[in-house]
Chain A
Amino acid sequence: MSRISSVFESLKNNNQKALIPYITAGDPNLDITVPLMHEMVKAGANIIELGIPFSDPMADGPVIQKASERALVHNTSLMDVFNLVKQFREDDKDTPIILMGYLNPIEIMGYQNFVDQAHAADIDGVLIVDFPPEESHEFNIAMKEKELDTIFLLSPTTTDNRIKLICDQASGFVYYVAIKGVTGSAQLDTADIADRITHIKNMTQLPIGVGFGIKNAETASKLGAAADAVIVGSANVQLIESGIENNLNNQAIMQNIFDLLSSMRVALNQLK
């Protein structure tokens, strides 16, 4: 059983939800990333999603776009991302790490090379936003051979046929995009989202994470009630952005993110 699956199984046995925070690797500098990952685990994160910076993040809203831009100012590369995970693993061998990003940096590295490096860095899963199952067959086989989980998105526009197709290829969990839109946008209609998640649950055994638009403990709690995990991206990254604007040091930025995630953890733990 993969590390991601084990995490979900043990949470389920304890009637708990997974908290999955996202940050972009190297935002705003390489020094903050590993300590911030540890800090997020302390705040109650069960899995960490680490973004691979990309010049053209088409599915992201302004907050995560700027995170990529900040990371690319000093050319954070995929090799840097692997090295950050290796550093993280020196002190944490349990928390699963998922890389999230766009295809082109992986394409240029070569699928097999990427998978080998990800495996060597002790990464658990990969989510490539612009790589639907219809195009990613060869990549998925390479991932399976190394027992890495391939995470896919499901969206409000995904038809039942596609839900089935995607869940057949996915492993670890599936990521339900709560809104039609980019990361970090819009108001969430929680009743609607809960209905959709229940519908998807009837079609797959995989745990379901929900993300895009979870801003605070309240939204985390509302969506967490229906799903197995909540994924928090723009809200963390926004704290990095405002920290930079207010000249905060890395320590102060990390404290703010710790506080946000802790409040979400408390809210999720109150769910039964």
Chain B
Amino acid sequence: MSNNSQSPNSQAEAVYSMPDERGHFGPYGGLFVAETLMQPLEELNQAYEHYKNEPSFVKELDNDLSQYVGRPSPLYFAKNWTTKLNGAKIYLKREDLNHTGAHKVNNTVGQILLAQRMGKKRIIAETGAGQHGVATATVCARLGLECVIYMGEEDIQRQALNVYRMRLLGATVVSVTSGSKTLKDALNEAMRDWVTNIDDTFYIIGTAAGPHPYPAMVRDFQSIIGREAKQQILAQEGRLPDALVACIGGGSNAIGLFYPFIDDKSVKIYGVEAAGKGLETGEHAAPLCAGKPGVLHGNRTYLMEDRNGQIIPTHSVSAGLDYPGVGPEHAWLKDINRANYVSVKDHEALDGFHELTQVEGIIPALESSHAIAYVSKLAPEMDKDQIIIMNLSGRGDKDIHTVATIDGIEF
């Protein structure tokens, strides 16, 4: 067994502790909202701080995660794929096997318990690919709460299946036609709803972005991914992995995997952004790789913006990565060089989609396919006794239509 298996607390270096009490990750994060939202966000922060370690809350959350979500998700050794790539051993954290088919539900089961304890009767959320919308509509159906989901008009068209799932679950799906008609505009519209209905409404943000306390709260709920993965790899291999790989849109699945490993300095961390048609074309969704810092949606982070500070349209084959910002903690991890942020193009992600489907019999989400594409490059460069854990953040059922269309197949 290597030294890597020591707990972070036994190391001499300072333990990573972010954000500060006002939600800052270095210069990033914070609380950049209109005045009407300041007090509601403070109330949310206080409620979250109170409940997150409160025994009955923790017990109910743990129970829901195991009995409703189906956790722990397996850490699957992808033997065929490993053999094919002829490099590091690849383990897949199977978030695709969660109830509703992605990691998003880890966060919604947590936030809905908080909403209930705060006495909120109405739930709103934004969604891009529809996975967070479905995960939110699901927990609302279970608890009998009114649910309104904001979704860009363009995303509604490319993710029709998820739209129907949300409606089956009893949610109202509102088509957002302002701005670029995608995830960022859905978030704007959800914020406008929240500020208008602040008294009875709880806003479940789906990614580790937005104003404080959302980036920290979403990270904490998603960290179950990394905590389990750490225990599982220690049980299965007797040591920590050498590398973690996850795709990044807003970055919630990635921070969920990365966070419990941040103090384990031997573990390399790779976040994979969507290079779309190529960073050089400008048609991408890779703010960490090709953007610069700015302020949007309540926090300071890396953004896709023009020289006048206007947010520019993004492109990715995957709706879930089609976002011009990124969670502020990723911005910080980039600046302190704790994580490496890379990007892969649409066509590479599509190759990854087909590869995993064929060699392992697992159809991945197009978002996760970006991580797959990067592992295909990384693993062959590593030694055979090294270990990669990749977050398979969601299943690909929702993307079948998109992939078929690209492959020239009509149903």
Contact = CB atoms under 8 A, between A and B. Distances in A.
Interface of A: 53-59, 61-62, 65, 69, 72, 75, 77-78, 102-109, 129-132, 134-135, 152-159, 162, 166, 177, 180-182, 185-186
Contacts, number: 123
Interface in B180-209: 184-185, 188, 191-192, 195-199
Secondary structure of the B side of the interface?
mixed
28 contacts: A56-B188, A58-B192, A58-B297, A72-B310, A104-B294, A104-B295, A104-B296, A104-B309, A104-B310, A105-B309, A107-B300, A108-B292, A108-B294, A108-B309, A130-B33, A130-B295, A131-B32, A135-B30, A152-B35, A155-B35, A155-B38, A157-B39, A157-B40, A157-B198, A162-B39, A177-B36, A182-B196, A185-B196
A56 to B, nearest CB: 5
Given A104-B303, A132-B38, A65 B178 contact: yes
A116 B303 CA distance: 25
Interface in B288-336: 292-298, 300, 303, 305, 307-312
A106 B34 contact: no
Interface string B5-43: 000000000000000001000000011111111111000
A129 B34 contact: yes
A189 to B, nearest CB: 14
A55 B32 contact: no
Contacts of B185: 56
B199 to A, nearest CB: 7
B179 interface: yes
Nearest to A109: B309
Given A105-B308, A129-B34, A182-B195, 9 more contacts: A55-B310, A55-B311, A59-B34, A59-B195, A153-B36, A155-B36, A157-B40, A159-B39, A166-B35
- Chain B contact-residue range equals 35 or more
B35 A75 contact: no
Contact of B184 (A56, A59, A106): A56
Nearest to A59: B34
Given A104-B295, A130-B295, A56 B311 contact: yes
Nearest to B30: A135
Nearest to B310: A55
Contacts of B40: 157
A227 B32 CA distance: 27
A181 B192 CA distance: 7
Contacts of A129: 34
A157 B34 CA distance: 11
Given A157-B36, A157-B39, A158-B38, A186 B196 contact: yes
B196 A130 contact: no
B32 A78 contact: no
A109 B294 CA distance: 10
Contacts of A186: 196
Contacts of A159: 39
A261 to B, nearest CB: 25
